[in-house]
Structure 1
């Protein structure tokens, strides 16, 4: 079980080839994450690029990248289930027919941007998500996280105190 004193690690997922407006938002979020790390509020952050969608039944899903993304999505869905939230409006599945093979397959559309917060080794929060009628975006989550962290000693301060 994680606590509020466990180190925070953030994982940001961004879609490749996003339109300019989405790219600007992604860059702003990355700058915020870098600042949180530089100021010692978070242990580290990681940016992972993913595509527009993933088809769990293709060979691409069997690659290291594909398996990583599918495992993360499964972890996010498990978190949502345990926390009475939903991710369905952000990780939508679509049935498609291949014009070449004529076979139907299911693809999952990935959000332009997703954020996972880990405390210690445990997943503590996923954004975007929906809780009832409330939508929690990546930016909302960063706003909430920054408010919570302002009142806590930074990881750098805690390390300095421990060394003395």
Structure 2
């Protein structure tokens, strides 16, 4: 189980202006998560449909957020492209066009003690973990478990979810920070159900 004393924050990013009732309904569901036992804080943020990649963009923080999400996805062997897209738009004043980021209509990011642990939606190439499904789990006071894809070079020393150091118990890897657990094969990580960590006691020594 997850430590209930660990602070959980959900950041809900929405494209403005909103014109779809289902999107507004999901935003309200996200806002209401603070009424449950799991989520401590819900932050609502808006972003435009497109954002330039250059450093002079007035929405540079959106690009930085996308880069953070993209790095998280790479560590897990999944993708956030889509829902994010990168495009080059023609420009009459800039030769070669302008590179822009297209944002999703709705995106959830879950943080544990300010550490990014999941982004929704994301995909492993076959299955997409939707915002709707993540909200269902969060409303049940359960952390949604992200998908795990096939990473090129899995690191057996680092948790694929939070990057903390893993404990290797005869082939079963457990993270003492976020309590992720799984096994490692040539094709990548296989995540297991929650594992209770037993406290370790130093062996007695003779004085």
**Deviates most, 99-108 or 129-138:** 99-108
TM-score (norm 1): 0.77
Q: For the residues of structure 2 that align with 1:48 and 1:42, how far apart are their CA atoms?
A: 17
For 1:76, the equivalent position in structure 2 comes to: 69
Taking a change above 3 Å as real, the CA distance of residues 25 and 48 of structure 1, as seen in their structure-2 partners, is same
Which is helix-richer, 1 or 2? Answer: 1
For 1:98, the equivalent position in structure 2 comes to: 91
Task: Work out the number of aligned pairs and report it.
Answer: 141
State the 1:89 CA deviation: 1.6
Taking a change above 3 Å as real, the CA distance of residues 132 and 117 of structure 1, as seen in their structure-2 partners, is same
TM-score (norm 2): 0.62
- String of CA shifts for 1:50-102, please: whole Å, max 9, x gaps: 0001111262x2x3xx2221111111011001111101121111111103444
Matches within 5 A, 1:39-50: 39-50=36-47
Query: Higher RCO, 1 or 2 (CA under 8 Å, sep at least 6)?
Result: 1
Structure 2 residue matching 1:90: 3-state secondary structure: coil
Residue 88 in structure 1 maps to residue 85 in structure 2:
no
CA RMSD of aligned residues (A): 2.0
Residue 135 in structure 1 maps to residue 132 in structure 2:
no
Asked whether the 8 Å contact 2:33–2:42 carries over to 1, the reply is no
What are structure 2's unaligned runs of at least 5 residues? 144-207
- String of CA shifts for 1:106-157, please: whole Å, max 9, x gaps: 111100011100011110110111023111111111112233539xxxxxxx
Q: For the residues of structure 1 that align with 2:65 and 2:33, how far apart are their CA atoms?
A: 23
Asked whether the 8 Å contact 1:91–1:111 carries over to 2, the reply is yes
What are structure 1's unaligned runs of at least 5 residues? 151-164
State the 1:4 CA deviation: 4.3
